Chains A and B, each alone.
Chain A
Amino acid sequence: MARYAMVTDLRKCVACQACTVACSAEWAVPAGHARTHVRTTPLAGSFPNLTSSPVVGQCNQCDHPPCVEPCPSGATYQDAGGIVRVDTDVCIGCGFCVDACPYEARFINPRTKKVDKCDFCRPRIERGEVPACVATCTAHAKYFGDLEDRNSEVSRLVFRDGARRMETRTVAVGPNVFYLGRPEHLDLVLSSYPPRPPRLLTAGAAWTRLLKPLVLAMVGMTFAGQAVAFFTQLHKGEGDFEE
């Protein structure tokens, strides 16, 4: 079984946005939204001793994806390659998963009105190609492969060169997008864009904490009530009711 991962070498990345546009072109993502986004951290320090780093964000295909559970319809799931995917046939566009994502990698596609996100270009992988962002990366800063395969480039970059995950003590969901870079740059990226603790929208919270118990209680109570009535009747005997 494969465990797909992506490594971005921030020493090479120049924030040129080729990946963003290639991805959007590949998946017909409407302008103004993107499955992958490129940012440059705010400057740290003061003139002339400054630091900043570009960073490429996308779905991290987490080992423990916090977006799966809040999806009511089961549209979001993790496939056999560890890729978190969306069955758009089943997505109803409620947006619960969007708020659950610590990496702000999900959005509601305004054309389909369903959730959209990076899936490591699953269909391309199946054709034996690399994801569109990797294929176009002008800086050759992106690497894609299978971590289970110890000979793969990503295995080498992760297990030998120590590519890092963007995790914090509070949000550690096992992302499979890794970064290489100068330690001070990686620290700056993490402190500038820390993963956000997963949130459940008020509607979702109302559902799971209020409505679900309420409905179960109501149905349960009426059922119990009827059961009591049934046995009372049996006890009394049906004859009472006959004319």
Chain B
Amino acid sequence: MRSDAIPLAPVPLTADEAETMLQRQIKKHHVAIILLHWFNAATWILEVATGAALISSRLFRVAPDWYLAIVNGLFGTRGNLLRFHVALGLVWIGVFLVYGIFGFRTYLRGEVLKKEIALDRDDVRWLVVRALRILGRSDEALPLQGVYNAGQKLFSMVVYAMLPVVMVTGVIMAFRLFSPWVVGWAVVLHFGAVGAVVAGLVIHVYMGAVFPEEKPAFFSMFTGSVNELFAYNHHFKWWREMKTEQLAWDRQREPAAEIARPETPAGGEGDAQEPST
């Protein structure tokens, strides 16, 4: 295809075209991101599970008695429970620090800030339409989306705002830093920040694991790739971006053959976002 042949908006595809695109995989996630995602998911499950059991006061607790009894029983003593929660939390923070420091340019700036968080006008519109469609109040077509849709971005925003809060308050409590007053507020903020993330997680998990439309996205968290058809249908702007870049690349290296499948770069510093030939 030539660049002028890349449509500005999705056009109906022939069955063959659709079939070809369905078979063709596009790289979406770097393996490092996949690993981080699942490590993060596991950590959150364990930390929320133990954290909920740690709040035992009737004034503050969110979990029922039987749940506390089970978790306490599992750990033997509440001291062990707290130690586990703190230790895992510290490991989790450590992993994020490593990612944040060594992957600052690619992950934090390139990925998180530019792609996962920044909302454009289409994104805002998408949120409205999406909500209305879910509720069955609209048939309007969804605005075109980039590599992450606006719903995912919204969740990311919540997560990235709350992560530092959870980490900092957690460390304050773990080491009882500053004054009791600070520790007291840290507990409260820790709880609130986790609460906000968990509220978002409910949607995230549902969308990822249950919502049929997003199944390829779910599997991409294992394989790293989505089929081109899914990208074309759900993340058209991304698909178009990739096509454009690819054509530019091809032109530079005349005579280009056909579009190659994206490959996993050899080095650890690979750029998952940039299509390769």
Give chain A's interface residues, CB within 8 Å of chain B: 68-75, 87, 89-90, 92-96, 98, 108, 113-114, 200-201, 203-204, 206-208, 211-212, 214-216, 218-219, 221-223, 225-226, 228-230, 232-233, 238, 241-243
| Partner-contacting stretch, out of B29-37, B56-64, B112-120, B248-256 | B56-64
The CA of A72 and the CA of B212, in the complex, are separated in Å by 40
Which B residues lie within 8 Å of A229 (CB)? 134-135, 206, 211
Q: Which of A69, A216, A225 contacts B62 (CB 8 A)?
A: A216
Say whether, besides A211-B195, A222-B202, A243-B233, A89 and B78 are in contact (CB < 8 Å): yes
Taking beta carbons and an 8 Å cutoff, which residues of B are in contact with A?
A: 18, 22, 54-60, 62, 77-79, 81-83, 134-136, 173, 176, 180-181, 183-188, 191-192, 195-196, 198-200, 202-203, 206, 210-213, 229-230, 233
Q: How far is the CB of A72 from chain B (nearest CB, A)?
A: 5
Q: Is the CB of A203 within 8 A of B187?
A: yes
CB–CB B188/A206 < 8 A: yes
Q: Which of A93, A96, A218, A222 has the most CB of B within 10 A?
A: A93
Q: How far is the CA of A87 from the CA of B212 in the complex (A)?
A: 48
Which 8 pairs from chain A and chain B are nearest by CB? A89-B79, A215-B195, A95-B180, A74-B56, A218-B199, A113-B176, A93-B176, A203-B184
12 of the cross-chain contacts (CB-CB < 8 Å) are A72-B57, A72-B187, A74-B57, A90-B81, A95-B184, A108-B180, A201-B181, A203-B184, A207-B192, A214-B192, A226-B202, A243-B229
Q: Is the CB of B191 within 8 A of A207?
A: yes
Question: In this complex, what residue of A is CB-closest to B230?
Answer: A243
* Bound CA–CA A69/B57 (angstroms): 5
Supply 17 further A-B pairs (C-beta < 8 A) apart from A204-B59, A219-B202, A243-B22. Answer: A68-B57, A72-B59, A89-B83, A92-B183, A93-B173, A95-B184, A201-B184, A207-B188, A207-B191, A207-B192, A215-B196, A222-B199, A222-B203, A225-B203, A233-B212, A242-B212, A243-B233
Interface SS of A by simple majority: helix
- Find chain B residues with CB under 8 A from A90 CB: 54, 78-79, 81-82
Which residue from A94, A219, A223 sits with its C-beta under 8 Å from B195? A219
User: Binding site of B, secondary structure by majority: helix, strand, loop or mixed?
Assistant: helix
A68 to B55, CA, bound (A): 13
Cα(A58)–Cα(B212), bound, Å: 63
Closest to B68 in A: A74
- Chain A nearest CB: distance from B163 CB in Å? 17
Q: Known interface pairs A74-B78, A90-B82, A243-B18. Does A203 touch B202 (Cβ–Cβ under 8 Å)?
A: no
Most buried by B among A72, A230, A232: A72
Report yes or no: A73 in contact with B82, Cβ–Cβ below 8 A. yes
Compute how far the CA of A221 lies from the CA of B134 in the bound complex, rounded to whole angstroms: 15
In the assembled complex, the Cα of A226 lies from the Cα of B198 at a distance in Å of 13
- Taking the closest CB of chain B, its distance from the CB of A147, in whole angstroms, is 27
A94 to B81 alpha-carbon distance, docked (Å): 18
Q: Which residues of B contact A73 (CB under 8 A)?
A: 54-57, 78, 82
- Residue in chain B with minimal CB distance to A207: B188
A226 to B178, CA, bound (A): 41
In the bound complex, CA of A144 to CA of B23 (Å)? 82
User: In the complex, are the beta carbons of A212 and B173 less than 8 A apart?
Assistant: no
Complex Cα gap A75–B136 (Å): 49
Task: Contact check, A214 vs B195: say whether CB atoms are below 8 A apart.
Answer: yes
Closest to B214 in A: A241
Assess whether A215 is in contact with B180, with CB atoms less than 8 Å apart.
Answer: no
Give the residues in chain A near B211, CB-CB below 8 Å: 229, 233
B82/A208 in contact, CB under 8 A? no
B57 adjacent to A70 (CB under 8 Å): yes
CB distance from B235 to the nearest CB of A (A): 14
Question: Which chain A positions have C-beta within 8 A of B55?
Answer: 72-73
